[in-house]
Amino acid sequence: MEVMNLAEFYKGMTFPEYTYTLSEDIVKNFIAGVEETNPLYTDEDYAKRAGFGYLVVPPTTISLYVTPSRVLKTIDKKTPPGLIQAGQKYEFHRPIRLGDTVTVKAVVEDLTQKKGRDFVSIKGEAYNPDGQKAAVSIITVIWPPQS
């Protein structure tokens, strides 16, 4: 895959939809990596009492699949090394069930320049298997200089 060049982005650029499955193994590693302790995500009885009726995934797991690299993969491109995250917005609307496959619609939300640095913001909306919007993530990264 070729590295994406900053000049190829434009505000409002959309990407092909893609899917992502929140498998037990992936979520287990996420929970270990962030040392999450809330039983909502690991204790089925507790999750039932909370009103969901099933185990849900931590809401910021959307950051596992709304990343520049995953979004760019849909157009056979990859990120340059050294990308640094500078900002993050989330909206959480509905729980996502452990094991569910979500569909992601992504768009370039913004392109800005500050103090000689280039910032790229990518918005990803995650839809649950019923087609309902479950969560939104907008990640802003500093795009490294490219020759």
Partner 1 sequence: MTGKLDFEKVTVGQELSPINKYMTQEKINTYISAAEDYNPIHVDPEYAKNTAFKSTIAPGYQFIAYLSELMARDFGEKWITGGGMELRLIRPVFPKNTLTVGAKVVEKKKEGDSIFIKCDVWIRNQDGNDIVAGYTTVAC
Which residues contact partner 1 (rule: CB under 8 A)?
A: 26-27, 29-30, 32-38, 40, 46, 49-52, 56, 58-60, 63-64, 67, 69-70, 79, 81-95, 139
Tell me 79's DSSP state: P
Closest CA to 105 of 22, 16, 21: 16
Amino acid identity of 29? N
In order of 38, 41, 58, the CA distances from 35 in angstroms are: 9, 12, 11
Closest CA to 78 of 90, 89, 67: 67
Between 82 and 131, name the residue whose CB sits nearer to partner 1.
Answer: 82
Least separation in angstroms between CB 41 and partner 1: 9
Least separation in angstroms between CB 42 and partner 1: 12
Between 9 and 92, name the residue whose CB sits nearer to partner 1.
Answer: 92
Between 14 and 85, name the residue whose CB sits nearer to partner 1.
Answer: 85
